[in-house]
């Protein structure tokens, strides 16, 4: 956390240290504003903006590999590698293959039910 604070501009670093009590007791927005000669609202805005800059993880190039068909492709992610069970190369919705199980016509199913009931 200290590394992240060290990368911030002096004013923003000081606001976070005072607000969250890093090496000192936590201060109110009013007290921080008086010390840094800022309005309470401006201190709140700077705190919010500074906190937002540190919440996004770093994206890097990633290899996605399909365990079903062995296809690999590149994308960006926070993970070094991703393994998926089904990809666009082997999923029926993407390949256009239609896999249906034929159970027979409605008449054939009715006759099978009637035969079971009679038995």
pLDDT at 90: 83
pLDDT tens track for 69-109? 889 999 999 888 999 998 888 877 766 776 666 777 888 88
pLDDT at 100: 67
CATH code for position 28: 1.10.10.10
CATH code for position 72: 4.10.80
Report residue 60 as tokens.
């890097």
pLDDT at 37: 93
Domain residues for the domain of 9 are: 2-53
pLDDT tens track for 3-51? 777 888 889 888 888 988 888 889 999 999 999 999 999 999 988 888 8
**What is the spatial distance between Cα 69 and Cα 7, in angstroms, rounded to a whole number?**
45
63-72: Cβ within 8 A, 24+ apart: 66/90
Q: Which residue has the tokens 């927005």?
A: 29
How buried is residue 109: exposed, middle or buried, by Cβ count under 10 Å (0-12/13-18/19+)?
A: exposed
Number of structural domains the chain divides into: 2
**What is the spatial distance between Cα 36 and Cα 34, in angstroms, rounded to a whole number?**
6
Do residues 28 and 49 both lie within one domain? Answer: yes
**What is the spatial distance between Cα 70 and Cα 95, in angstroms, rounded to a whole number?**
15
pLDDT at 13: 87
Q: 57 pLDDT exceeds 90?
A: no
Entry pTM: 0.45
Q: 64 pLDDT exceeds 90?
A: yes
**What is the spatial distance between Cα 106 and Cα 110, in angstroms, rounded to a whole number?**
6
pLDDT at 99: 66
Do residues 15 and 45 both lie within one domain? Answer: yes
Q: 110 pLDDT exceeds 80?
A: yes
Cα dihedral across residues 10, 15, 20, 21: positive or negative: positive
């Amino acid at each position: 956390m200290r590394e992240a604070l060290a990368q911030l501009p002096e004013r923003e670093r000081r606001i976070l240290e005072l607000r969250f009590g890093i090496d000192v007791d936590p201060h109110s927005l009013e007290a921080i504003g008086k010390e840094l000669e800022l309005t309470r609202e401006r201190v709140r805005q700077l705190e919010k903006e500074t906190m937002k800059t540190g919440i996004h993880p770093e994206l890097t190039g990633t290899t996605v590999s399909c365990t079903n068909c062995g296809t690999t492709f590149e994308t960006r992610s926070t993970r070094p590698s991703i393994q998926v069970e089904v990809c666009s190369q082997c999923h029926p919705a993407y390949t256009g293959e239609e896999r249906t199980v034929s159970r027979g016509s409605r008449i054939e199913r009715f006759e099978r039910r009637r035969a079971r009931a009679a038995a």
